């Protein structure tokens, strides 16, 4: 008996078993939960950067005419100085200063002084306005610099994100052969759609089923999670930001009992994922790299909250 047991511990070491489909899916889930918040942060930063750059441009456009006014005023002052004290006008200045009439001299100097003071007031008024707009623009410039640096840092991560997406895709191919078989096959969308804007949004979202997930994309050929809900509700006449957390902040909260097709379902404590409710306990969503836009059971994931656009 001991001899037979000992046989189990000798000889060639058996090869490690290949991971099962369930184990591979678990690996992908874990990796994607870390990656999707980075994708959504990229989307939010890109939108914030564009908005702040537009504000800075508006202020620069306001400041430009003021600078032109300052330049023109300074030119007038310079011309006045040249005419009064230099060049061809020197003889006129000499004549003024050698005028034998003290009263005339005092009067001319008074006019000269008043003109100079008026010029100074004109210039100062424009400078004050310019400084006002500069003061408004300065914090925006600082913020744009910060956002630009943040975007540059995220851009550096693009290769890392793409490499991770590629790794996950290879894992999926290893599990299913082509990345769309087995449990990844999408369920059908509803046979009928609600009316109104919500119906337009739901119908559009369902029409995108089968299109690939691409991070940062909002159609028409590929989507990420918030890009899909953004594009779908655009068909319903509602503008949404390209970021799940920002969408949560913009839409009206609804309870689970109030859910109706077209409502948004937000996932995870960090609000890093969003899908669209289509009825019957199902959502349509752009889930993650390697999987097409598809439907899934709404409760298959950690639900954060629900929201209604429009």
Q: What pLDDT, on the 0 to 100 scale, is given for residue 180?
A: 41
Of the residues 42, 225, 242, 304, which is catalytic? 225
- Residue recorded with tokens 């995108």: 208
Q: What pLDDT, on the 0 to 100 scale, is given for residue 94?
A: 56
Question: Mean pLDDT in the chain?
Answer: 77
Of the residues 42, 189, 242, 285, which is catalytic? 285
Radius of gyration of the chain (CA): 35
164 has pLDDT over 90: no
Mean pLDDT within 137-154: 80
* 105 confidence band (pLDDT: 50, 70, 90): low
Mean pLDDT within 50-54: 83
Q: Is 285 a catalytic residue?
A: yes
Q: Are 171 and 27 in contact (CB under 8 A)?
A: yes
Q: What pLDDT, on the 0 to 100 scale, is given for residue 72?
A: 72
Of the residues 42, 189, 242, 273, which is catalytic? 273
pLDDT in tens, 198-242: 999 998 998 888 888 998 999 999 999 999 999 999 999 999 999
Q: What pLDDT, on the 0 to 100 scale, is given for residue 146?
A: 80
3-state secondary structure the chain: CHHHHHHCCCCCCCCCCCCCHHHHHHHHHHHHHHHHHHHHHHHHHHHHHHHHHHHHHHHHHHHHHHHHHHHHHHHHHHHHHHHHHCHHHHHHHHHHHCCCCHHHHHHHHHHHHHHHHHHHHHHHHHHHHHHHHHHHHHHHHHHHHHHHHHHHHHHHCHHHHHHHHHHHHHHHHHHHCCCCCHHHCCCCCCCCCCCHHHHHHHHHHHHCCCCEECCCCECCCCECHHHHHHHHHHHCCCCCCCCHHHHHHHCEEECHHHCCCCCEEEECCCCCEEEEEEECCEEEECCCCCCECEEEECCCCCEEEEEECC
Q: What pLDDT, on the 0 to 100 scale, is given for residue 229?
A: 98
Q: What pLDDT, on the 0 to 100 scale, is given for residue 89?
A: 47
Q: What pLDDT, on the 0 to 100 scale, is given for residue 85?
A: 53
Q: Cα separations (Å) of 166 from 18, 161, 163, 293?
A: 20, 9, 5, 18
pLDDT in tens, 254-302: 999 999 999 999 999 999 999 999 988 999 999 888 788 888 899 999 9
């Amino acid at each position: 008996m001991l001899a037979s047991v000992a046989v189990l511990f000798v000889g060639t070491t058996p090869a490690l078993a290949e991971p099962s489909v369930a184990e591979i899916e678990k690996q992908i889930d874990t990796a994607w939960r870390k990656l999707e918040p980075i994708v959504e942060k990229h989307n939010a930063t890109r939108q914030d950067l564009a908005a702040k750059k537009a504000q800075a441009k508006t202020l620069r456009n306001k400041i430009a005419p003021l600078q032109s006014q300052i330049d023109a005023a300074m030119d007038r002052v310079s011309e006045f100085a040249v005419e009064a004290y230099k060049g061809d006008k020197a003889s006129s200045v000499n004549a003024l200063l050698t005028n034998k009439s003290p009263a005339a001299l005092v009067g001319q100097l008074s006019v000269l002084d008043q003109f100079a003071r008026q010029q100074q007031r004109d210039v100062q008024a424009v400078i004050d306005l310019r400084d006002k707009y500069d003061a408004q623009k300065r914090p925006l410039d600082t913020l744009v610099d910060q956002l630009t640096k943040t975007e540059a840092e995220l851009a550096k991560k693009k290769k890392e994100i793409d490499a991770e997406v590629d790794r996950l895709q290879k894992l999926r191919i290893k599990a299913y052969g082509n990345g769309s078989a087995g449990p990844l096959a999408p369920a059908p969308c509803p046979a009928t759609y609600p009316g109104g804007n919500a119906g337009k949004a739901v119908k559009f979202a369902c029409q995108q089923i089968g299109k690939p997930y691409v991070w940062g994309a909002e159609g028409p050929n590929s989507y990420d999670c918030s890009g899909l809900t953004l594009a779908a509700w655009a068909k319903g006449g509602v503008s949404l930001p390209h970021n799940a957390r920002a969408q949560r902040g913009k839409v009206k909260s609804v309870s689970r009992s109030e859910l109706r097709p077209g409502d948004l379902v937000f996932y995870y404590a960090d609000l890093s994922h969003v899908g669209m409710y289509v009825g019957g306990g199902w959502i349509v969503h752009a889930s993650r790299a390697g999987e097409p836009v598809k439907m899934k059971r709404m409760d298959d994931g950690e639900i954060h909250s629900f929201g209604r656009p429009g």
